[in-house]
């Protein structure tokens, strides 16, 4: 049955299927990637993209189907076989040894012999050549942990090229990059394409697909729903293919009507355990009925800001909620007292903070509010009341499946987020802190969550939105503040700015705040 | 909780298979030293549950293990490994002895209440210092609790040989006998028709152990404190986010853990020895860890596992009497194998069993309405798509 493939195709997959228990992660997937092209694979979380790539890289064994590399059927039982076949993989979470130098990381596992010196010399020469060819300059002797994420990613690419990869797979490569760094990455990828390398780009960002790919394959629920030329398609069409129905990519909203000041933050500072100052004098004001968006590359103090406001990190400075100062240092300064003051919080990492993944859905709807009278009766917790509450919320927020006894970990990202959102909105807070509201959330649910945020704003609530997705910030915010290195670089109105200016501010370059 | 398996398989089937495997390997060990494994198994079972005499000891040991197992289980729920059971139980014994020696109690009922309090307070106090060091200073609880076992042991030797020693006693370091009025009724007194001997060690504190099981169940699954303990155990960042104080939970969980373990002394010191001797714990603190592991930190599981280990202790004792050449060491090997298979090698059995259930479960309709798909992050972790 194995027909010889077309040698013009760098990779051809034929009828790949993979099941995990009853879960069909990949169903009969066939795909053809031409040599010297950039091929995008797009799909929602859980669509099976990563499973497919893991099969290609030898992490999983497919139940059925075959892989052809350069027209030849090539079994890939492990990642060494994938490397031998010329496949290089750049993971979303880098696999670098933090306290090794760039050179040491590049040769790791590909040393030529027992002695390191010849390998290192060879790698140094190659690195220099690659730096000249693709403007991929990284200091070969720098220690990884001293490098920024963009540079670390370049090291991952260099690692793959050192192993003579012809096919480069990048899994969500721009998640941690500033817009400028992402542009740089794309220039590198275009250079590699010009050299005849084949690149597979896995992403959930439609804009990247449109910007850089030649062809794009859409996955939905484990199936490949379409493969099209990028030039012949549009973001709207791709979104529809991903979700299976028409999707509104814009958020419909009326102009905000800000009311009284809800939250005032003055000179807020946070020093972490390593004595590094993570927030360096933040000033903010949020009024009722407006969304203040905090843009920025992750790791520039946004998390600390949310944690301090949410009551579980210590800081100095002044925070006034409805005109009354909040104690930032006392023993009563915890998340529970913040909730009592009318601050609700949808945390950035719902799986680590917002939910107990092993708790059932009904146990999670009381999480953080488990002191409320409605969930307690005498000495014991009123589990029946929590269950009733959960059923109600699941219906109102369209959580699927609407089964309160299912553990949180068994819901998809979007449905987990709906549970958190339902819980936090429920108590009618004055201020909602919301971090990365749609990270790891499927497009269909993104729409719903955005609608909820705007609806809450229109009810006259103050909303502090933190997101690394610039599109999301632009779509939802009434005002945008950009954070860089623990400072606010400046504030802009969405109508008066664009992604370029914000991108520069996110990189710490300009902005009125920095100039002053 | 694992969703791949029905609850009964998780709680009963897997431990049972583990146990059978452990016994099979033990059989080989016994055969290796030239003994008949089937005869050994017969003596083991018959000696532990084949007579009222055997049951008396089996349940007596089990009572100890229930207390220590529950204590370790409560700490497990807060993701803390309390291996200080030996020390906490020894201090519990000290608490019991002080309460019973210093106050002339009129009747065993009030004495039991007071002694329970003494045992719980002393056990909790011994757990409090490691708990505080963990909560405030980050000193690892495993290290500190085990060090406190040694300190407890030294402290007991000092007290028993210098302070609490009965004047004129023949040199063995122990306290005076407790008064006759505080003697706990044993199984012979309570159930004379069941054939227990007059000297059976099984006593009324067995019911205290059962009550403790109910208490722990209600605490962990029905109270707000239990909700917070479990939440903290699953994820400390989430606990912080919810306004749960890690300090408070660490302290409370460890105090409850130490108190439950201390309560063991009502059985071993008050119920059986009726005086405080050197090492009143006899390893029950460590067995409690195995019991909690095997019982999946659930009171029902702890009860069943404690029964099993009680039977192993008693049956193992019989084996050394009845079979020539079966030394204490061989009994230890058998017990160790049971711990190894039920605790450490659990996943070896679990994975294949899960696979069997998954394939068997695929033919009938899956419980979920839509076909769940794995997330991109971890394809093994099944998620449900809308």
Q: Enumerate the domain spans of chain B.
A: 36-324
Q: Write down the pLDDT at residue B169.
A: 62
B382 and A353: CB-CB below 8 Å? no
What number is the average pLDDT over the span A485-492? 93
Question: Which range (A124-133, A173-182, B263-272, B367-376) has the least confidence?
Answer: B367-376
Q: Are B385 and A221 in contact (CB under 8 A)?
A: yes
A370 and B242: CB-CB below 8 Å? yes
Is residue B241 within 8 angstroms of chain A, CB to CB? yes
> Under 8 Å CB-to-CB from B165, ≥6 apart: which residues?
B173, B174, B175
Q: Write down the pLDDT at residue A3.
A: 59
Q: How far apart are CA B306 and CA B63, in angstroms?
A: 7
Residue A317's SS3 state is strand
Local confidence pLDDT in tens for the 386 residues of chain B: 445 677 777 777 888 888 899 999 999 999 998 889 999 999 999 999 999 999 999 999 999 999 999 999 999 999 999 999 999 999 999 999 999 999 999 999 999 999 999 999 999 999 999 999 999 999 999 999 999 999 999 999 999 988 887 776 666 788 888 999 999 999 999 888 888 888 899 999 999 999 999 999 999 999 999 999 999 999 999 999 999 999 999 999 999 999 999 999 999 999 999 999 888 898 999 999 989 988 889 999 999 999 999 999 999 999 998 888 888 888 889 888 988 887 777 778 888 888 888 777 654 433 433 333 333 333 333 333 33
Q: Write down the pLDDT at residue B151.
A: 97
A23 and B1: CB-CB below 8 Å? no
Pairing type for strands A316-321 and A324-325 reads antiparallel
Q: How far apart are CA A138 and CA A155, in angstroms?
A: 8
Q: Which residue has the higher pLDDT, A300 or A512?
A: A300
Q: Are B78 and B232 in contact (CB under 8 A)?
A: yes
Q: How far apart are CA B323 and CA B334, in angstroms?
A: 15
Of A413, A411, A415, the residue nearest A397 (C-alpha):
A415
Which residue from A335, A398, A411 is facing B241, i.e. has the nearest CB? A335
Of B95, B99, B123, the residue nearest B182 (C-alpha):
B99
Q: Write down the pLDDT at residue A482.
A: 95
Is residue B373 within 8 angstroms of chain A, CB to CB? yes
DSSP-assigned states of every residue in B277-339: BS-SSTTHHHHHHHHHHHTTT-HHHHHHHHHHHHHHHHHHHHHHHHSTT--HHHHHHHHHHHH
Beta bridge partners of A14: A66
CATH domain B36-324 topology: ABC transporter involved in vitamin B12 uptake, BtuC (1.10.3470)
Provide the percentage of residues in chain A whose pLDDT is more than 70.
97
Which residue from A20, A310, A347 is facing B382, i.e. has the nearest CB? A20
Q: Write down the pLDDT at residue A411.
A: 86
Q: Which residue has the higher pLDDT, A376 or A412?
A: A376
Q: Look at residue A514 and tell me whether its pLDDT is greater than 50.
A: no
Q: How far apart are CA B114 and CA A426, in angstroms?
A: 48
DSSP-assigned states of every residue in A15-39: EEEEEETTEEEEEEEEEEEETT-EE
Is residue B369 within 8 angstroms of chain A, CB to CB? yes
What number is the average pLDDT over the span A246-272? 88
B245 and A312: CB-CB below 8 Å? no
Q: Write down the pLDDT at residue A33.
A: 93
Q: Are A90 and A171 in contact (CB under 8 A)?
A: yes
- Which residue of A175, A353, A411 is the best one to mutate when testing the B interface, meaning the one whose CB has the most B CBs within 10 A? A353
Q: Look at residue A427 and tell me whether its pLDDT is greater than 90.
A: no
Q: Write down the pLDDT at residue B243.
A: 93
Q: Sort out which chain A residues have CB atoms less than 8 A from B377's CB and list them.
A: 45, 50, 440
Q: pLDDT grade, residue A512 (50/70/90)? A: very low
The Cα of B64 is separated from the nearest Cα of chain A by a number of Å equal to 28
Phi first, then psi: what are they for B262, rounded to 5°? -60, -35
> Under 8 Å CB-to-CB from B65, ≥6 apart: which residues?
B284, B287, B288, B291, B305, B306, B309, B310
Q: Which two tokens stand for residue B146?
A: 């085990």
Q: Write down the pLDDT at residue B363.
A: 47
Which residue from B224, B372, B374 is facing A370, i.e. has the nearest CB? B224
Residue with tokens 């950009």: A482
What number is the average pLDDT over the span A165-186? 85
- How distant, in Å, are the alpha carbons of A466, B2, B10, B230 from that of A357? 23, 12, 19, 12
Q: How far apart are CA B120 and CA B96, in angstroms?
A: 9
Q: Which two tokens stand for residue A462?
A: 């103050």
> Under 8 Å CB-to-CB from B267, ≥6 apart: which residues?
B60, B63, B64, B67, B203, B205, B206, B208, B209
Provide the percentage of residues in chain A whose pLDDT is more than 90.
50
Which residue from B1, B375, B382 is facing A358, i.e. has the nearest CB? B1
Q: Write down the pLDDT at residue A515.
A: 39
Q: Where are the alpha helices (DSSP H) in A430-498?
A: 443-458, 470-476
Q: Write down the pLDDT at residue B4.
A: 64
Q: Write down the pLDDT at residue B372.
A: 36
Q: Residue A114 burial (CB < 10 Å; 0-12/13-18/19+)?
A: exposed
Question: Which range (A110-114, A312-316, A346-350, A383-387) has the least confidence?
Answer: A110-114
Residue of A nearest to B223 (CA): A380
A50 and B376: CB-CB below 8 Å? yes
Q: How far apart are CA A21 and CA B382, in angstroms?
A: 9
Q: Write down the pLDDT at residue B3.
A: 55
Q: How far apart are CA B285 and CA B82, in angstroms?
A: 10
């Amino acid at each position: 049955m194995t027909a010889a493939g077309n040698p013009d195709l760098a990779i051809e997959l034929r009828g790949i299927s993979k099941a995990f228990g009853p879960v069909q992660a990949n169903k009969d997937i066939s795909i053809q990637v031409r040599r010297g092209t950039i091929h995008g694979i797009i799909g929602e979380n859980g669509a099976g993209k990563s499973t497919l790539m893991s099969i290609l890289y030898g992490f999983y064994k497919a139940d059925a189907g075959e892989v052809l590399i350069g027209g030849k059927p090539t079994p890939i039982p492990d990642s060494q076989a994938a490397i031998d076949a010329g496949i290089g993989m750049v993971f979303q979470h880098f696999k670098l040894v933090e306290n090794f130098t760039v050179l040491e990381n590049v040769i790791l596992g590909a040393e030529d012999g027992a002695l390191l010196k010849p390998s290192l010399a060879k790698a140094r020469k190659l690195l220099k050549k690659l730096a000249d060819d693709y403007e991929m300059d990284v200091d070969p002797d720098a220690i990884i942990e001293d490098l920024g994420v963009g540079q670390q990613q370049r090291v991952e690419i260099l690692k793959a090229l050192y192993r003579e990869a012809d096919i480069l797979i990048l899994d969500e490569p721009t998640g941690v990059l500033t817009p400028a760094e992402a542009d740089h990455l794309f220039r590198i990828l275009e250079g590699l394409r010009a050299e005849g390398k084949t690149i597979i780009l896995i992403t959930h960002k439609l804009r990247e697909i449109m910007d850089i790919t030649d062809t794009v394959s859409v996955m939905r629920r484990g199936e490949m729903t379409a493969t099209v030329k990028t030039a012949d398609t549009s973001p709207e069409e791709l979104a529809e293919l991903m979700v299976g129905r028409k999707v509104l990519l814009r958020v419909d909203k009326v102009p905000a009507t800000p009311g009284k000041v809800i939250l005032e933050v003055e000179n807020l500072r946070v020093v972490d355990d390593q004595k590094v100052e993570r927030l360096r004098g933040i000033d903010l004001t949020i009024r009722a009925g407006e969304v203040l968006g905090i843009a920025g590359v992750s790791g520039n103090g946004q998390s600390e800001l949310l944690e301090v406001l949410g009551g579980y990190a210590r800081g100095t400075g002044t925070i006034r909620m409805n005109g009354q100062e909040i104690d930032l240092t006392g023993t009563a300064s915890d998340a529970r007292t913040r909730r009592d003051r009318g601050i609700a919080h949808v945390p950035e990492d719902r799986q680590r903070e917002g939910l107990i993944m092993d708790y059932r859905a009904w146990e999670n709807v009381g999480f953080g509010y488990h002191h409320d009278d409605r969930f307690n009766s005498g000495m014991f917790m009123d589990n029946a009341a929590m269950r009733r509450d959960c059923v109600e919320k699941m219906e109102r927020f369209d959580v699927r499946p609407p089964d309160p006894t299912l553990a949180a970990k068994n819901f998809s990202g979007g449905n987990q987020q709906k549970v958190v959102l339902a819980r936090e909105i429920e108590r009618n807070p004055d201020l909602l802190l919301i971090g990365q509201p749609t990270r790891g959330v499927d497009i269909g649910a993104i729409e719903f969550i955005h609608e909820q945020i705007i609806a809450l704003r229109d009810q006259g609530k103050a909303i502090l939105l933190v997101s690394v997705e610039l599109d999301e910030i632009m779509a939802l915010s009434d005002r945008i503040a950009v954070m860089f290195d623990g400072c606010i670089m400046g504030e802009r109105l969405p109508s008066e700015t664009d992604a370029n200016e914000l991108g520069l501010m996110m990189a710490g370059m300009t902005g009125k705040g920095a100039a002053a | 909780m694992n969703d791949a398996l029905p609850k009964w398989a998780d709680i009963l089937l897997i431990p049972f298979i583990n146990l059978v495997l452990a016994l099979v390997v033990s059989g080989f060990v016994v055969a290796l030293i030239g003994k008949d494994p089937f005869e050994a198994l017969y003596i083991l079972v018959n000696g532990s549950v084949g007579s009222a005499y055997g049951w008396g000891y089996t349940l007596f040991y089990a009572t100890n293990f229930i207390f220590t197992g529950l204590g370790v289980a409560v700490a497990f729920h807060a993701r803390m490994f309390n291996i200080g059971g030996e020390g906490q139980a020894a201090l519990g014994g000290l608490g019991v002895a002080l309460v019973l020696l210093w106050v002339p109690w009129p009747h065993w009922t009030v004495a039991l209440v007071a002694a329970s309090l003494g045992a719980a307070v002393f056990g909790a106090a011994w757990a409090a210092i490691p708990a505080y060091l963990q909560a405030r200073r980050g000193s690892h609880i495993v290290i500190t609790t085990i060090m406190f076992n040694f300190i407890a042991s030294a402290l007991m030797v000092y007290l028993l040989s210098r302070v609490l020693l009965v004047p004129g006693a023949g040199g063995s370091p122990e306290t005076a006998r407790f008064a006759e009025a505080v003697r706990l009724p044993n199984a012979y007194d309570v159930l004379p028709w069941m054939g227990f001997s007059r000297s059976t060690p099984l006593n009324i504190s067995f019911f205290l152990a059962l009550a403790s099981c109910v208490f722990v169940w209600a605490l962990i699954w029905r109270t707000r404190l239990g909700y917070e303990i479990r939440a903290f155990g699953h994820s400390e960042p989430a606990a912080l986010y919810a306004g749960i104080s890690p300090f408070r939970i660490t302290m409370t969980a460890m105090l409850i853990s130490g108190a439950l373990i201390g309560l063991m002394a009502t059985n071993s010191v008050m119920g059986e020895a009726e005086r405080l001797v050197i090492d009143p714990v006899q390893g029950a603190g460590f067995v409690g860890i195995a019991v909690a592991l095997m019982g999946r930190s659930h009171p029902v599981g702890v009860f069943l596992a404690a029964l099993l280990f009680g039977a192993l202790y008693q049956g193992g004792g019989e084996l050394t009497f009845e079979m020539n050449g079966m030394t204490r060491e061989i009994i230890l090997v058998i017990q160790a194998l049971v711990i190894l298979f039920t605790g450490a090698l659990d996943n070896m059995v679990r994975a294949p069993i899960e696979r069997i259930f998954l394939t068997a479960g695929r033919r009938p309709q899956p419980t979920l309405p839509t076909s769940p798909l794995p997330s991109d992050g971890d394809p093994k972790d099944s998620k449900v798509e809308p």
